[in-house]
């Protein structure tokens, strides 16, 4: 099947790119594995309305736009890209079977995934990522019924805490590895006053509800027997390694635990694009030109999937990409010129904001020393920190050797959850910094496929 432009990801970045193209009369296929467009942030409640959880109308506006331009934008929800081969050639898993696409131009807008840090007991049922708790509340109106402790770092920590307490959830404590932002960091964040004010708003909401905020602290153990019962909190130092001294025990039935976002680079990696490590934008990210072209011809990357920048950056990058691609395809982009200039201006101030945010809450390596030798690092294959260290002692340093030796990252999630923690252990063991290590690998298909799906693709199996 041929389509001129295929966009993967119908979040703010991908959807906005499709809209910008459509306004110049250019058709696109917009693939997304979720039931609705909007990505991680503009997640509609599936039927019914959810009170108090920050009504942002931009998601509805995006979805309306997609419907309005339905003759040009072929939005396929529930369609997941499970492989990318040179060409580019895509495999798509859809509810009713798999198929192949060979677009002329491929735009990857696959968004972010949360960073998790293994701590003793974090595999107990009842521990969720912060984003996971938010998704339950936002899309299903399901919230924890008992005491909740939220821990980790970054804006999502305060956002989710404020959203849950506002919905009547008993969030008793927030545990943040970062300290209170310094004057310099606050000045940097003030580059985008609206975002800084939002953050202050969350803080005030938490104080009003009597939520205790433990800064420069981390959950060093989750305790329970088959389910979470309590967490142990300790102060952390400058590099976020736990300090000796008194521990605080907090009762909780549900724990939220995650440490910010990183770019979902699966598809840019499979497409063969160059990547580099950029801590300010969440770690490993694809290398891009000014027009968001990657090192592979006709493959572009935008939004959080190309480096964490937040929703406003994602929207702006979508507009700019649409504008640039319109020109490449030989159409005139007169209507878009002013929009693209404005988007570029926004991105500049957001970049300064992002730097301050990173300075305040960017992941620091000491946090990974919370895991003891028995802590599960790879949950899919039950590989402990001790197993990984032993394999490294045997000289299995490269990710591939380590994977084969321990099976860490070889399970169903393909290392999406344990990737950063495994890399950090290799770095510590080898003395080679993460940016100098080879990037964690991905393999096709990205998700387990059924025999029937493979059969529907078989006649066209591309030679690798």
Partner 1 sequence: MFKRLDGAGPLVTVTVDGQALQLPGGMPLAAALLHAGIATFHRSVRAAEPRGPLCLMGSCFQCVAVIDGVANQRTCRLPVRAGMAIELCVPPVPEDAA
Ligand X SMILES: Cc1cc2nc3c(=O)[nH]c(=O)nc-3n(C[C@H](O)[C@H](O)[C@H](O)COP(=O)(O)OP(=O)(O)OC[C@H]3O[C@@H](n4cnc5c(N)ncnc54)[C@H](O)[C@@H]3O)c2cc1C
Binding site for partner 1 (CB under 8 A): 33, 35, 40, 46-51, 113-114, 116, 123-129, 131-133, 135-137, 139-146, 167-168, 226-227, 253-254, 376, 379-382, 410-413, 416-417, 448, 450
Site string for ligand X, 269-308 (x = CB under 6 A): ----------------------------------xxx---
* Nearest approach, Cβ of residue 253 and partner 1 (Å): 6
- CA distance to 15, 57, 65, 185, per residue, from 80 (Å): 16, 26, 22, 39
Q: Which of 3, 6, 7, 9 binds ligand X (CB under 6 A)?
A: 9
When asked if residue 261 is in the footprint of ligand X (CB under 6 A), the reply is yes
* Residue 318 · residue 16 · CB < 8 Å: yes
Residue 110 interacts, among ligand X, partner 1, none and using kind-specific CB cut-offs from 5 to 8 Å, with ligand X
* Binding-site partner at residue 305 among ligand X, partner 1, none, CB < 5 to 8 Å by type: ligand X
Contact call for residue 8 and ligand X (CB under 6 A): yes
Window 45-84: contact mask with ligand X (x via CB under 6 A): -----------------------------------xx---
Tell me whether residue 26 or residue 148 sits nearer to partner 1 (CB atom): 148
Span near ligand X by CB under 6 A; candidates 111-119, 288-296, 340-348, 421-429: 111-119
How many angstroms separate the Cα of 252 from the Cα of each of 171, 224, 371? 9, 10, 20
Greatest Cα pair distance, the chain, in angstroms, is 66
* Residue 103 contact partner, candidates partner 1, ligand X, none, CB within 5 to 8 A by sort of partner: none
Q: Give 50 or 186: the residue with its C-beta nearer to partner 1.
A: 50
State yes or no: residue 116 binds ligand X (CB under 6 A).
no
Structure-block tokens of residue 71 = 């003759």
Question: Element (H or E) spanning 349, and its range?
Answer: helix 334-361
102 close to 460: Cβ distance less than 8 angstroms: no
State the Rg of the chain over Cα. Answer: 22
Q: CA-to-CA distance for 287 and 295, rounded, in angstroms?
A: 7
Minimum distance, C-beta of residue 266 to partner 1, in the bound complex (Å) = 10
Q: Which C-beta is closer to ligand X: that of 306 or that of 396?
A: 306
Q: Does 415 bind ligand X (CB under 6 A)?
A: no
Distances (CA, A) of 39 to 58, 59, 180, 282: 12, 9, 30, 18
CB 217 within 8 A of CB 178: no
Q: Is 178 exposed, middle or buried (0-12, 13-18, 19+ CB in 10 A)?
A: buried
Q: Which is nearer to partner 1, 129 or 319 (CB)?
A: 129
**Least Å distance between CB 309 and ligand X?**
7
Position 217 contacts ligand X (CB under 6 A): no
HSE-up of residue 423 (Cα within 13 Å, Cβ side):
21
d(CA 331, CA 26): 8
**Distance between CA atoms of residues 229 and 89, nearest Å:** 48
Give the three-class secondary structure for 460: helix
Please identify which residue in 32, 100, 176, 387 interacts with ligand X, judged by CB under 6 A: 32
Distance CA 151, CA 198 (A): 19
Distance of alpha carbon 101 from alpha carbon 85, whole angstroms: 10
Q: CB under 5 to 8 A by kind: which of ligand X, partner 1, none does 311 bind?
A: ligand X
Q: Kindly list the residues in this chain that would bind ligand X in the complex (CB under 6 A).
A: 8-14, 31-34, 39-41, 80-81, 109-114, 131, 134, 156, 159, 261, 264, 267, 303-305, 310-311, 314
């Amino acid at each position: 099947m041929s389509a001129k432009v295929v966009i993967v990801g119908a979040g703010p970045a991908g959807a906005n790119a499709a809209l910008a193209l459509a306004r110049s009369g250019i058709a696109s296929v917009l693939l997304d594995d979720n039931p609705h467009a909007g990505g991680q942030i503009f997640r509609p409640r599936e039927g019914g309305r959810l009170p108090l959880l920050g009504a942002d109308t931009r998601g509805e506006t995006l979805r309306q736009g997609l419907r309005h331009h339905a003759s040009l934008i072929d939005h396929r929800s529930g369609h997941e890209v499970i492989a990318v081969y040179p060409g580019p050639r895509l495999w798509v898993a859809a509810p009713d079977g798999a198929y192949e696409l060979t677009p002329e131009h491929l735009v990857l807008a696959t968004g972010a995934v949360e960073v998790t840090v293994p701590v003793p007991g974090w595999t107990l049922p009842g521990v969720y990522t912060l984003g996971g708790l938010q998704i339950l509340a936002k899309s299903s109106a399901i919230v924890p019924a008992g005491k909740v402790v939220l821990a980790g770092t970054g804006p999502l920590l305060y956002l989710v805490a404020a959203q849950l307490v506002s919905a009547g959830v008993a969030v008793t404590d927030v545990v943040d590895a970062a300290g209170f932002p310094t004057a310099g960091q606050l000045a940097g964040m003030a580059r985008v006053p609206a975002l800084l004010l939002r953050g202050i708003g969350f803080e005030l909401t938490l104080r009003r509800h009597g939520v205790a905020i433990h800064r420069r602290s981390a959950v060093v153990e989750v305790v329970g027997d088959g389910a979470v019962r309590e967490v142990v909190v300790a102060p952390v130092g400058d590099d976020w390694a736990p300090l000796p001294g008194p521990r605080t025990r907090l009762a909780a039935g549900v724990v939220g635990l995650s440490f910010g976002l990183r770019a979902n680079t699966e598809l840019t990696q499979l497409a063969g694009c160059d990547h580099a490590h950029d801590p300010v934008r969440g770690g490993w990210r694809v290398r891009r030109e000014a027009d968001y072209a990657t090192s592979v011809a006709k493959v572009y990357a935008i939004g959080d999937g190309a480096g964490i920048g937040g929703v406003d950056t994602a929207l702006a990058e979508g507009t700019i990409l649409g504008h640039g691609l319109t020109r490449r395809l030989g159409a005139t982009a007169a209507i878009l010129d002013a929009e693209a200039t404005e988007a570029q201006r926004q991105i500049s101030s957001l970049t300064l904001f992002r730097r301050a945010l990173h300075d305040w809450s960017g992941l620091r390596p000491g946090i990974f020393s919370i895991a003891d030798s028995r802590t599960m690092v790879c949950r899919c294959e039950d590989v402990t920190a001790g197993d990984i260290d032993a394999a490294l002692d045997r000289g299995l340093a490269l990710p591939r050797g380590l994977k084969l030796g321990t099976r860490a990252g070889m399970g169903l999630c393909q290392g999406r959850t344990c990737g950063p923690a495994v890399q950090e252990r290799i770095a510590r063991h080898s003395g080679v910094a993460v940016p100098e290590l080879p990037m964690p690998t991905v393999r096709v298909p990205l998700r387990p496929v059924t025999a029937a799906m493979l059969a529907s693709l078989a006649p066209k199996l591309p030679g690798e």
